[in-house]
Amino acid sequence: MIFITARFRVKAEDADRWPEISRSFTEATRAEPGNLWFDWARSTEDPQEYVLLEAFKDDGAEAHVGSDHFKQAQRDLPPHLEETPRIVNFQVPGEQWSELGEMAVD
């Protein structure tokens, strides 16, 4: 799978509304055949920062970047951001989360 983490620094006046601002992009991405997950989390230290965790089957990310909803997001989302999002992506085996054995729950 292709695993991607991105940090989005949202303008202060839009930070509370970011889930709604990004909703159509989020829902369309989650509906893609190659998408495994697409989850937003708000930083507990910086209320203007959202972290996106997303994963695609190996061939899914290319289709995602070429999709109409991605192109629409390229137009719609940047006006709400303070800076270009930062990203890390890598390929890992499997298509699901593994258990954290060091914190196993009995």
Q: Is residue 68 part of a domain?
A: yes
**The domain containing residue 52 runs over which residues?**
2-93
The reported pTM is 0.90
Q: Is residue 98 part of a domain?
A: no
CATH of the domain at 87: 3.30.70.100
pLDDT tens track for 6-52: 999 999 999 999 999 999 999 999 999 999 999 999 999 999 999 99
Q: Is residue 101 part of a domain?
A: no
CA dihedral 38, 6, 20, 84 (to 10 degrees): -150
Q: How many domains does the chain have?
A: 1
Half-sphere exposure for 27 (CA within 13 Å, toward CB): 6
Tell how far CA 23 is from the center of its chain.
Answer: 11
Q: Is residue 62 part of a domain?
A: yes
Q: Is residue 25 part of a domain?
A: yes
Q: Is residue 56 part of a domain?
A: yes
pLDDT at 28: 96
